[in-house]
Amino acid sequence: MSLLYLLGTGTPTPTKWRFGTSYVLQLKENYLMFDCGPATTYKLVKTGLFPTQIDYLFFTHHHSDHDADYPCFLLCRWDQSTGKEQRLQVYGPQPTEWITERLIGPEGAFCHDLEARLESPVSQSVHENRGGSLPRPEMSLDVSDIRPGKVIETDQWTVTTAPVRHAEPWLESIAYRVDSDEGSIMFTGDTGPCESVSRLAEGVDVLVVNCWDHQETMEKNGEAPGQTGTLDAANMAQTSGAKKLILTHTGPHLTKPGSREKGIGDIARIYKGEVIFGEELMSLVLW
């Protein structure tokens, strides 16, 4: 059984029910996190998971609603570690390596915290009482800037990437598709419809689309370029042949009661598969 945990299903606008973006895909004993938006670590624990379970983190891009909790996640995962966990692997478009260095490198924003937890006798006791041993291991992880087109393979799953159309040339953004023996899922990330996204989505089982607002609203207010509206999402899903469409990164207008039902109705006129309006802390059985 494979599960998808929706941790963040919102946008840069904080609301009571959603804020920022993050998902965790569970494939057997592997937990893959996609994006790490505001409060991801807290929401992760609220779903019943724990930071030390996450061994892979993939960034679609570095808008803050997709990465603002990155320092919190890194520091918490390391602090809660007994030193016996897998080494964390982080992938994302540039400047993923630069951001990581500026957070936890020797001159990084959190170097004082790391030093204090490594050196202070009380922190060392907490670490030992948690099951760790001294000397306390320093944080170690593998971080890679990746270009669209990169393929990451393990013996259980393959991650394939593609360029998307979002905030170029200021930010590079990528979509991720994960294939395993049991099924496939794609995260479009923030993007407008484009050929590379359609190509990557061909024949995928589950399509997770960042859907901003009603199509007609976005066409009128200038928010359509580089983003996906309801009808774009429906067309992407219908063309791909996906069995399931999960809407997420939904904006404050689309999520209002009544508005979301209209959105789902508009989508259902085009897309004939199952539509799920993603909510934070939802966990879904994929296959």
- The answer to whether residue 117 forms part of the interface with Zn ion (CB under 5 A) is no
| Shortest Å distance, C-beta 91 to Zn ion | 17
| Shortest Å distance, C-beta 166 to Zn ion | 6
Closest CB to Zn ion among residues 95, 105: 95
- Other CB atoms within 10 Å distance of the CB of residue 68: 19
| Shortest Å distance, C-beta 35 to Zn ion | 10
User: Total binding residues for Zn ion by CB under 5 A?
Assistant: 2
Please give the structure tokens belonging to residue 147. 């270009």
Closest CB to Zn ion among residues 63, 136: 63
Binding segment for Zn ion (CB under 5 A), chosen from 19-27, 115-123, 183-191, 278-286, is: 183-191
Task: Give residues 228-247 in contact with Zn ion (rule: CB under 5 A).
Answer: none
Binding segment for Zn ion (CB under 5 A), chosen from 37-45, 115-123, 186-194, 267-275, is: 186-194
| Shortest Å distance, C-beta 243 to Zn ion | 27
- Other CB atoms within 10 Å distance of the CB of residue 26: 17
Please give the structure tokens belonging to residue 132. 């760790």
Question: What is the C-alpha to C-alpha distance for residues 46 and 40, in angstroms, rounded to an integer?
Answer: 10
Q: Backbone phi, then psi, for 128, in 5-degree steps?
A: -65, -40
Task: Give residues 63-82 in contact with Zn ion (rule: CB under 5 A).
Answer: 63
Contact 11, 212 (CB under 8 A): yes
- For 122-171, the DSSP string reads HHHHHHHHTT--SSPPPP-EEEEE--TT-EEE-SSEEEEEEE-BSSTTT-
| Shortest Å distance, C-beta 61 to Zn ion | 6
Closest CB to Zn ion among residues 19, 271: 19
CA nearest to 202, candidates 175, 226, 224: 175
Closest CB to Zn ion among residues 145, 190: 190
Q: Backbone phi, then psi, for 65, in 5-degree steps?
A: -70, -5
Binding segment for Zn ion (CB under 5 A), chosen from 189-197, 200-208, 231-239, 275-283, is: 189-197
Task: Give residues 139-178 in contact with Zn ion (rule: CB under 5 A).
Answer: none
Running DSSP on this structure, what letter comes out for residue 87? P
Task: Give residues 12-71 in contact with Zn ion (rule: CB under 5 A).
Answer: 63
Q: Burial of 244 by CB count in 10 Å (0-12 exposed, 13-18 middle, 19+ buried)?
A: buried
Question: What is the C-alpha to C-alpha distance for residues 87 and 118, in angstroms, rounded to an integer?
Answer: 18
Closest CB to Zn ion among residues 146, 286: 146
Closest CB to Zn ion among residues 52, 191: 191
Question: What is the C-alpha to C-alpha distance for residues 127 and 134, in angstroms, rounded to an integer?
Answer: 8
Question: What is the C-alpha to C-alpha distance for residues 100 and 62, in angstroms, rounded to an integer?
Answer: 12
- The answer to whether residue 190 forms part of the interface with Zn ion (CB under 5 A) is yes
| Shortest Å distance, C-beta 192 to Zn ion | 11
Closest CB to Zn ion among residues 189, 263: 189
- The answer to whether residue 249 forms part of the interface with Zn ion (CB under 5 A) is no
Closest CB to Zn ion among residues 71, 192: 192
Question: What is the C-alpha to C-alpha distance for residues 159 and 148, in angstroms, rounded to an integer?
Answer: 11
Q: Which residues bind Zn ion (CB under 5 A)?
A: 63, 190
